[in-house]
């Protein structure tokens, strides 16, 4: 299960179909992410971004089509194999948009210790790794607090720390800066920027267009369960008609001289999938 060569496929999806009852979330969906890429998933609510991340994380499985991870089929049956599952869960980390569903332990320390304990890390290593990560994330003062009593921004940082504790080389992030205060957003963006060209593979769903060029090398634009455009962030940002069509920006006009007006894209923020 080695995909550490640049440009080698980490995930490959072909003709994937996924439905929630009568609602089709992904419709004949094909997509590939190579090792070391930082890919931003763009699109309005309900376009399929969160569904894709759940499939890549091995939490949901399509009704049709094929999904592979490092060349091996990513199926419920494959994940039932203990060896494959352990390696996959070790390498792939998912941050949910709603941190509430990710936090379930009595304290922040216990939350971060949960994954390492499952992998039977030595206790000294667990304590040292947690201490270092708490400092990096700026949440050392929360170590003994109950996660359910934290603010929304604090919960998000703890949830992200619980993913990073195992040092996965593939990160799936669903709106990682949503509902954060400006200082916390800045901290997360600094992490995202540092991960570019670091060897990690990062796939994130985001509505933040202002920082797109810094955090992603490629964008995939979703609409109604399909990818309708792919390209470099700058190319996508310059396609104002596309961004308006998928409701990521709203048209806005400024008068520049008498009788003349020029459109400028303005972010139209969404939350949720």
Q: How does pLDDT run across 20-56, given as a tens digit for each residue? A: 999 999 999 999 999 999 999 999 887 899 999 999 9
CA geometry: angle 226, 205, 159, nearest 5 deg: 140
Helix (H, G, I), strand (E, B) or coil at 271: coil
What is the domain partition of the chain in residue ranges? Answer: 9-102+170-248
Note the pLDDT of residue 133.
94
Q: For 33, which DSSP code?
A: E
Q: Does domain 9-102+170-248 have CATH number 3.40.50.300?
A: yes
- DSSP line for 158-204: HHHHHHHTT--SEEEEESTTTT--HHHHHHHHHHHHHHTTSS-EEEE
Gap between the Cα atoms of 92 and 130, Å rounded: 19
Q: For 205, which DSSP code?
A: E
Structure confidence at residue 85 as a pLDDT band (50, 70, 90):
very high
In the predicted structure, residue 68 carries a pLDDT above the cut 90:
yes
Q: For 217, which DSSP code?
A: S
In the predicted structure, residue 148 carries a pLDDT above the cut 60:
yes
* Percent of the chain with pLDDT strictly greater than 70: 89
Strands (DSSP E) along the chain, which ranges? 9-20, 23-34, 38-42, 64-69, 72-73, 92-95, 170-174, 201-205, 218-223, 226-231, 249-250, 253-257, 260-263, 266-267
Q: For 101, which DSSP code?
A: G
State pTM to two decimals: 0.86
Q: How does pLDDT run across 229-260, given as a tens digit for each residue? A: 999 999 999 999 999 998 887 765 555 555 55
Gap between the Cα atoms of 75 and 69, Å rounded: 10
CA dihedral 100, 104, 105, 108 (to 10 degrees): -20
Note the pLDDT of residue 273.
44
């Amino acid at each position: 299960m080695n995909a550490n060569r640049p440009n080698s496929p980490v995930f490959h999806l072909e003709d994937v179909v996924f439905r929630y009852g009568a609602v089709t979330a992904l419709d004949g969906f094909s997509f590939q992410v190579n090792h070391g890429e930082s890919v931003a998933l763009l699109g309005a609510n309900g376009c399929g971004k969160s569904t894709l991340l759940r499939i890549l994380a091995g939490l949901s499985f399509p009704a049709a089509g094929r999904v592979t991870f490092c060349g091996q089929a990513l199926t419920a049956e494959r994940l039932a194999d203990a060896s494959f599952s352990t390696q996959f869960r070790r390498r792939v980390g998912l941050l949910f948009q709603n941190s509430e569903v990710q936090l379930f332990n009595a304290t922040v320390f216990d939350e971060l210790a949960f994954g390492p304990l499952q992998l039977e890390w030595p206790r000294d290593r667990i304590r040292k790794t947690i201490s270092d990560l708490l400092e990096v994330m700026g949440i050392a003062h929360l170590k003994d607090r109950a996660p359910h009593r934290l603010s929304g921004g604090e919960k998000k940082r703890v949830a992200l720390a619980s993913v990073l504790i195992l040092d996965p080389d593939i990160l799936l992030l669903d709106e990682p800066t949503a509902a954060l205060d400006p200082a916390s957003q800045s901290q997360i963006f600094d992490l995202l920027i540092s991960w570019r060209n670091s060897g990690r593979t990062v796939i994130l769903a985001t509505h933040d267009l202002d920082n797109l060029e810094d955090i992603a090398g490629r964008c995939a634009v979703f609409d109604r369960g399909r990818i309708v455009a792919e390209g470099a962030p700058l190319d996508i940002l310059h396609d104002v008609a596309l961004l308006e069509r998928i409701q990521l920006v709203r048209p806005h006009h400024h008068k520049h001289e008498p009788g003349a007006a020029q459109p400028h894209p303005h972010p139209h923020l969404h939350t949720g999938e």
